[in-house]
Structure 1
Amino acid sequence: MDNSPARGTRDLLPSAVATRDRVLGLIQDVYRQFGYQRIETPALERIERLTSGQGGDNEKLLFRILRRGLDEQVAEATALSDLVDLGLRYDLTVPLTRFYSQYRAELPQPFRSFQFGPVWRAERPQRGRYRQFYQCDIDLFGEASVLAEVELIEATTAALAAVGLAGTTVRLSDRRFLAALASGAGVPEEGQAGFFVTVDKLDRVGWSGVETELREERGLSAEVVRAVRDTIDALSDLSTDKVVDALADAVPNLPTAVAEDLATTVRCLGALPGDQRWLFDPTLVRGMGYYTGQIFEISHPDSSGSIAGGGRYDELVGRSLGTAVPACGFSIGFERIVDLVPAAPPAERLAVLFESDVPVERALAVARRLRAERDAVVSPIRRSGKFPAQLTRLEGWGFTGFLSVKADQDLTELPDVRPLRGN
């Protein structure tokens, strides 16, 4: 029998879990300082919510759950909708909007939410991409101004700095800018959702692949595709002080409010502390269909993909609530940053080694006293095998020191703790 976990999932050993707990604790401390409150939502959501068309390509990666009580055999023409009523969440945002709609009257306004939990996507497993992985999100509901965007960016960059990730770059764009670009180039409004999905593949397939898909699958003419590329090229690699003016020149139909919002965000990003940099990226799209305004990602020189991303999604809550609610969110790619964070010095972890003739209550009493005196992790462990070999095993398991307890030993004073390294 194969005892390995399901393909695309992982077991985590104690050392890995300890690292993840440390990273999560540092992030959570920062987000708490900014006023974000932790909530939890279930892993399962109703299938109609997960297939609303707002999840982009992630809806194609949805794990569906069969209805209870189905017969072992179903009729050949049975529709999938008759077999499935639930699915595993593919992100934390869609469940969050359902949560907010349900409990809005009980929540502070504006509401700052923090979430951490597993999500599932039917990915093709590969390095850095798993079928089960964890997301770490903050979201702000009820703030219509770019205060939301800038606060989310500041809080997230502060959280990344707290875990030791320096040299990050914030990439910024706006779905309203992209819509104006598409309209100005001649992309029909009904084709803009597909246009966004294709342009989002630019970093994976390059301009050649994007242009081919825009022509052959999206039905755009060569002239329209060329106009799109020319505009994007003109807005690439701009110095930060020229972004807003360049946008007005390159995209004349850009609404004034969009330019003003970007100008405010630009000023605020320039005032952020730390060593992170930022840039306007006209190719940044983000694949989710629910974004309605500014979008952003954070990159790190040691990661091939972004380590955090988010944006404004003012219309998503309204689908459940029936009334528009300003909303903006930022998600840290937790699995990616855990692989990047510097290793922490090992915490003090001590073993109380006791001989077989030592009463259990005596060993426990020594461990209890040691915890109180050293504020350390202390575990009573029975002596077994050859002593040097046991010490080697303890060191491999993460212990940093030990003391020995014998049956006839005077324990008025605890024995000295001896370091494991070098024994």
Structure 2
Amino acid sequence: MASVNPPRGMRDFLPAEKARRERVLAVIRERYRAHGFDEIETPVMEEYARLHAGIGGDNEKLAFNVLKRGLEPDAIRAAADDPAALTDLGLRYDLTVPLARFYASHRGELPGVFRSVQIAPVWRAERPQKGRYRQFVQCDIDIVGDASARAEAELATATLDTLDALGLEGGSIRINDRRVLDWMLASFGFTEDERPGVLITIDKLDKLGPQGIVDELAGRGASPEAVEAFRAFLFRPQTREYNPFGERQIRKALPEGAPDEIVAHLVGIGEAVAAARDADDIPLVFDPFLVRGMGYYTGTIFELAHPSVSYSLGGGGRYDGMIGRFLGQDVPAVGFSIGFERIVDLLEAGVDAAASAVVLVHDRDMPTRELLALKAALVAEGSRVRLEHRTKNLKALLERAEADGYTAFATVSAGVARDDIEIKPLG
């Protein structure tokens, strides 16, 4: 007999949790719209070749592929070792690849600088565990067609404003640039072929620590001279001083000779964010070892941090080369994704209850026409209304209603008028 549970790594949501998620999404949508972003929608599936074009990084390995229709058993056996011969579609594993395809399809109908919002589920064949799902919602904002620091600053400002609107004030953004990482690794002496593997190791710095990184690089067979130069940099003497985000903070975190153009780009982002938020303390922190694993990032990268948790609440970066894979010419693009599932888990359950949600507890013999007339009157006043038969265990009924997000109740019987109803708070 088939299981009644949802597939592993996927979830059902009871009404109260579903309503709570929708209220959080409504705040996110409203803030993004206020910052000039327009929502689009793309199909849940894309062509197999597009999802496996080498632009999705490690996520390509996690794609759910869709078997071609009408394949005969002999054809399936003959192509068992060739997924491309068996599948022609796949479920999207992120919203960035679909956006690149969308822009290439509709460029002539869009403004020169296009600010998009996509809020939708994505699917990845992850190993399910706490906080990691096979189906989850992503909330992406992207700016296509702007190569300047203004685009990154707009994304950062909109993201921090959204976090504030959700009641998670005090957030900050860790920021780096993949061009800085590439320059830094070259300055240490790592060859171009070695750098992708070195970045994978550097991405583990928080877990392994400096010495663990050095040991792993040596174990990978990286150039000994480059590993030693990197080790010397990691363990260099440093003064304990606080430097707010800006040129001094950036240059002190890097080897000498960092490219002026890239440093100026990062500084410009910080200055614009500070002006937008009218704050002396810029909520950005330069992190020279921030990597982000996606293979398509070409410039600025960032992660959203909050002091209440040790993990990131979102991230993104610049991917100027991706859309060109579909158009045949490069188009600058940068995006930021909020980790919706993590943010929902952080928010207190009680803060987003509906303002007026009433349970009408009625006698079983109450005429339907009277009951629905009372309900319609309360709905017209702006309340959410649920009808419930009176039961012997009224306490259990009301506790369930409160758990579902209802805030008040009233008991009614035949002949009662709207003005006679006494609405009492739950809890």
Q: TM-score, normalised by structure 1?
A: 0.91
The residue aligned with 1:178 is 181
For residues 143 and 179 of structure 1, the distance between their equivalents in structure 2, rounded to whole angstroms, comes to 23
Deviations 1:167-225 (A, max 9, x none): 222111101101111111122223333332332232344445543443444x4123212
Asked if the contact 1:166/1:276 (under 8 Å) is kept, the reply is no
For residues 20 and 59 of structure 1, the distance between their equivalents in structure 2, rounded to whole angstroms, comes to 28
Percent identity (aligned): 45
> What is the SS of the residue equivalent to 1:403?
strand
Asked if the contact 2:362/2:387 (under 8 Å) is kept, the reply is yes
1:317 to 1:251, Cα distance in 2 relative to 1, 3 A:
farther
**1:243: how far off?**
2.5
Matched, 1:406 2:413: yes
Matched, 1:278 2:284: yes
- Count of aligned pairs between the two proteins: 416
For residues 234 and 99 of structure 2, the distance between their equivalents in structure 1, rounded to whole angstroms, comes to 33
The residue aligned with 2:43 is 42
1:235 to 1:190, Cα distance in 2 relative to 1, 3 A:
farther
The residue aligned with 2:226 is 224
1:28 to 1:397, Cα distance in 2 relative to 1, 3 A:
closer
Asked if the contact 1:181/1:228 (under 8 Å) is kept, the reply is no
The residue aligned with 2:255 is 250
After TM superposition, the structure 1 stretch with the greater mean CA deviation from structure 2, 148-157 or 166-175, is 166-175
> What is the SS of the residue equivalent to 2:301?
strand
Asked if the contact 1:170/1:276 (under 8 Å) is kept, the reply is no
For residues 36 and 89 of structure 1, the distance between their equivalents in structure 2, rounded to whole angstroms, comes to 22
Matched, 1:69 2:70: yes
1:266 to 1:354, Cα distance in 2 relative to 1, 3 A:
closer
For residue 364 of structure 2, the aligned residue among 313, 331, 356 is 356
Asked if the contact 1:235/1:246 (under 8 Å) is kept, the reply is no
After TM superposition, the structure 1 stretch with the greater mean CA deviation from structure 2, 93-102 or 375-384, is 375-384
Asked if the contact 1:235/1:282 (under 8 Å) is kept, the reply is no
1:23 to 1:394, Cα distance in 2 relative to 1, 3 A:
closer
**1:244: how far off?**
4.1
**1:119: how far off?**
1.1
Deviations 1:74-110 (A, max 9, x none): 3356422211222221111111100011001101221
The residue aligned with 1:239 is 243
Unaligned runs of 5+ in 1: none
For residue 133 of structure 1, the aligned residue among 131, 136, 147 is 136
The residue aligned with 2:402 is 395
Matched, 1:85 2:88: yes
| AA in 1 matched with 2:136 | F
Matched, 1:198 2:198: no
For residue 166 of structure 2, the aligned residue among 144, 163, 167 is 163
The residue aligned with 2:378 is 370
Deviations 1:298-353 (A, max 9, x none): 11122232101111111111010111111110000111111112341532211222
For residue 416 of structure 1, the aligned residue among 417, 422, 426 is 422
| AA in 1 matched with 2:20 | T
For residues 382 and 2 of structure 1, the distance between their equivalents in structure 2, rounded to whole angstroms, comes to 32
| AA in 2 matched with 1:174 | D
After TM superposition, the structure 1 stretch with the greater mean CA deviation from structure 2, 278-287 or 5-14, is 5-14
Asked if the contact 2:95/2:118 (under 8 Å) is kept, the reply is yes
The residue aligned with 1:29 is 30
1:111 to 1:138, Cα distance in 2 relative to 1, 3 A:
same
> What is the SS of the residue equivalent to 2:77?
coil
Q: TM-score, normalised by structure 2?
A: 0.90
Asked if the contact 1:167/1:276 (under 8 Å) is kept, the reply is no
For residues 236 and 101 of structure 2, the distance between their equivalents in structure 1, rounded to whole angstroms, comes to 40
Asked if the contact 2:194/2:222 (under 8 Å) is kept, the reply is no
| AA in 2 matched with 1:281 | D
1:362 to 1:299, Cα distance in 2 relative to 1, 3 A:
same
For residues 231 and 339 of structure 2, the distance between their equivalents in structure 1, rounded to whole angstroms, comes to 29
Asked if the contact 2:250/2:286 (under 8 Å) is kept, the reply is no
**1:270: how far off?**
4.0
1:262 to 1:400, Cα distance in 2 relative to 1, 3 A:
closer
CA RMSD in angstroms comes to 2.4
1:128 to 1:99, Cα distance in 2 relative to 1, 3 A:
same
1:306-325 superposed matches below 5 A? 306-325=312-331
1:17 to 1:234, Cα distance in 2 relative to 1, 3 A:
farther
> What is the SS of the residue equivalent to 2:143?
strand
1:235 to 1:108, Cα distance in 2 relative to 1, 3 A:
farther
1:43 to 1:269, Cα distance in 2 relative to 1, 3 A:
same
The residue aligned with 1:154 is 157
For residues 235 and 198 of structure 2, the distance between their equivalents in structure 1, rounded to whole angstroms, comes to 17
For residues 385 and 407 of structure 2, the distance between their equivalents in structure 1, rounded to whole angstroms, comes to 10
Unaligned runs of 5+ in 2: none
After TM superposition, the structure 1 stretch with the greater mean CA deviation from structure 2, 351-360 or 36-45, is 351-360
For residues 353 and 105 of structure 2, the distance between their equivalents in structure 1, rounded to whole angstroms, comes to 44
1:43 to 1:216, Cα distance in 2 relative to 1, 3 A:
farther
Matched, 1:96 2:99: yes
Matched, 1:336 2:339: no
Deviations 1:346-375 (A, max 9, x none): 3221122222222212111100011223x1
| AA in 2 matched with 1:239 | N
| AA in 2 matched with 1:224 | A
Asked if the contact 1:234/1:250 (under 8 Å) is kept, the reply is no
Deviations 1:399-418 (A, max 9, x none): 322223322x2426342212
Deviations 1:44-74 (A, max 9, x none): 1112211222222222222222111123453
The residue aligned with 1:304 is 310
Deviations 1:257-292 (A, max 9, x none): 212212212323444346873211011011001111
